[in-house]
Structure 1
Amino acid sequence: MAASTLMLLALALPTAAWPGLGLPRRPCVHCCRPAWPPASPGPYAHVSARDPWWGLPRVRPTIDISILKGEKGEAGVRGRSGRSGEEGPPGFRGPQGRKGQKGQAGPPGAPCQRAYAAFSVGRREGLHSGEDLQAVPFDTELVNLDGAFDLASGRFRCAVPGVYFLSLNVHTWNHKETYLHVMLNRRPTAVLYAQPSERSVMQAQSLLLPLAAGDTVWVRMFRRDRDNAIYGERGDLYITFSGHLVKPDAEL
């Protein structure tokens, strides 16, 4: 009964009279608004200046993620290698490195094998042409490497192909024509000529010829309407024909 009477008095009396009665004072709460502002209004929420929480700072809770991070796990199985990419452009040339140490001397090489070919022959007796075309034979051998020159036929047969130097020297006969050809196989390549004269003279012809293996070079007398002759005597050597290899084909 006493409890019911006190409750009725509390509801009937105004709040200003509560301290006098020794009753605790309750805060005034508006019935249409919450007792505390929302924890974190959205960034686009409309807040009016008449709102009682308009001037208060907004409290945004943060969570320390590091305290939630677990321990590092074990490494997984390595996957298969991917496809090779396209080759890139070459890079810039790097700086020159330091000079290396001198290496050891190697074994001696094989001696250089040089090719040689040469001949020099002469004729001591004079010769008159008895036919229109006549090969000049020789009777004196000065140099004849490997026997490549045949004195009887007056021909040198090439065994080492290359470039050869050839020279022909004769003495003319008084009042007779001198008409000779330096022949390559069957083709005349150079002529040695002197007109008939009261005085005999020395005549010379020289040339370079490329010779292949098996080619022959020789001297031919060519007779026309005059007597063709070259002078010679047993005591001296007036007629000479010489040649030597200048450079083999292997070195050209």
Structure 2
Amino acid sequence: MAAPALLLLLVLPVGAWPGLGLPRRPCMHCCRPAWPPAAPGPHVRSIDGDEWGRLPRVRPTIDIAILKGEKGEAGVRGHSGRSGKEGPPGSRGLQGRKGQKGQAGPPGAPCQRVYAAFSVGRREGLHSADALQAVPFDTELVNLDSTFDLASGRFLCAVPGVYFLSLTVHTWNYKETYLHIMCNRQAVAVLYAQPNERSVMQTQSLLLPLAAGDAVWVRMFQRDRDNAIYGERGDLYITFSGHLVKPDAKL
């Protein structure tokens, strides 16, 4: 009888054991409970009627998208902030296209030009008779505004500015030629030729600034030798010329 009874115990389910008077062990938790403990759920019983415990209560979730409202209107624009510090200069950009040609401007005021010029000559030869002798002239080639006096041999400047002056003479055989181009009482240039058996043409030229009222003339300078310049009635060997190159900027 012992063998059939043991077999019966193994086949019977656990729920049938209380009827057989077998001891039942209480249910114990095998893990630590969560904190705070969840709200008690409904009782759950096993198939055989024993109470296993309570299920945790599940909290409902809400879809936020369903509760989203409409987009509101834009608010009032705030005040602009202060300007920041100036940044470093940037690199040079590409060259732009060439612009169109502009229209011609109005004509300017007419330029007022001034002129001054003279060119005179001497046909007769001249020997120095005094230590400081002015050379007179007898031929007038150009004499604008009659500014050159032939008898005194002087050009009186009426238009201030820079002038070009030129003196040309023919030397006399075996005689010294010694002349000065004078401005008022100051010698500014010399024309000189030593005595020679052959006569030659000698020229001296220069640029000279003249003020209004300055006098320009030619002077013979006598030393211990005979000083002379050659001339003939038929030809013009001696000439003295000058003209205005640039007027004074104040004009």
TM-score range, shorter chain: 0.5 to 0.7
Deviation at 1:128, TM superposition (A): 2.6
Deviation at 1:121, TM superposition (A): 0.9
Aligned equivalent of 1:81? 80
- Contact 2:191/2:203, CA 8 A, preserved across alignment: yes
- Contact 1:29/1:35, CA 8 A, preserved across alignment: no
1:109-188 aligned at under 5 Å gives the runs 109-158=108-157, 159-162=159-162, 164-188=163-187
Aligned equivalent of 1:234? 233
For residues 33 and 156 of structure 2, the distance between their equivalents in structure 1, rounded to whole angstroms, comes to 131
For residues 101 and 187 of structure 1, the distance between their equivalents in structure 2, rounded to whole angstroms, comes to 59
For residues 62 and 147 of structure 1, the distance between their equivalents in structure 2, rounded to whole angstroms, comes to 123
Q: Tell me the amino acid that sits aligned with residue 213 of structure 1.
A: A
| Structure 2 stretches lacking a partner, 5+ long | 1-13, 20-25, 39-59
Range that drifts further, 219-228 or 98-107: 98-107
For residues 130 and 220 of structure 2, the distance between their equivalents in structure 1, rounded to whole angstroms, comes to 9
Partner deviation per Cα, 1:197-251 (whole Å, 9 max, x = no partner): 45543322223x241423443211101122322233433322110122344565x
Deviation at 1:73, TM superposition (A): 4.2
For residues 96 and 19 of structure 1, the distance between their equivalents in structure 2, rounded to whole angstroms, comes to 106
Choose the corresponding residue for 1:213, options 208, 211, 214. 211
- Relative distance call for 1:69 and 1:221 in structure 2 (3 A) is farther
For residues 174 and 166 of structure 2, the distance between their equivalents in structure 1, rounded to whole angstroms, comes to 25
For residues 31 and 233 of structure 1, the distance between their equivalents in structure 2, rounded to whole angstroms, comes to 156
- Relative distance call for 1:84 and 1:37 in structure 2 (3 A) is closer
Give 3-state SS (helix, strand or coil) of 1:245's partner. strand
Give 3-state SS (helix, strand or coil) of 1:146's partner. helix
Partner deviation per Cα, 1:145-193 (whole Å, 9 max, x = no partner): 333333333233442413x332211123344322101123333232212
- Contact 1:115/1:160, CA 8 A, preserved across alignment: no
| Structure 1 stretches lacking a partner, 5+ long | 1-14, 21-26, 40-60
Report which of the two structures shows the higher radius of gyration computed on alpha carbons: 2
For residues 88 and 178 of structure 2, the distance between their equivalents in structure 1, rounded to whole angstroms, comes to 73
RMSD: 4.0
- Contact 2:161/2:245, CA 8 A, preserved across alignment: no
Q: Tell me the amino acid that sits aligned with residue 211 of structure 1.
A: P
Given the two structures, how large is their TM-score scaled by the length of structure 2? 0.63
- Contact 2:175/2:195, CA 8 A, preserved across alignment: yes
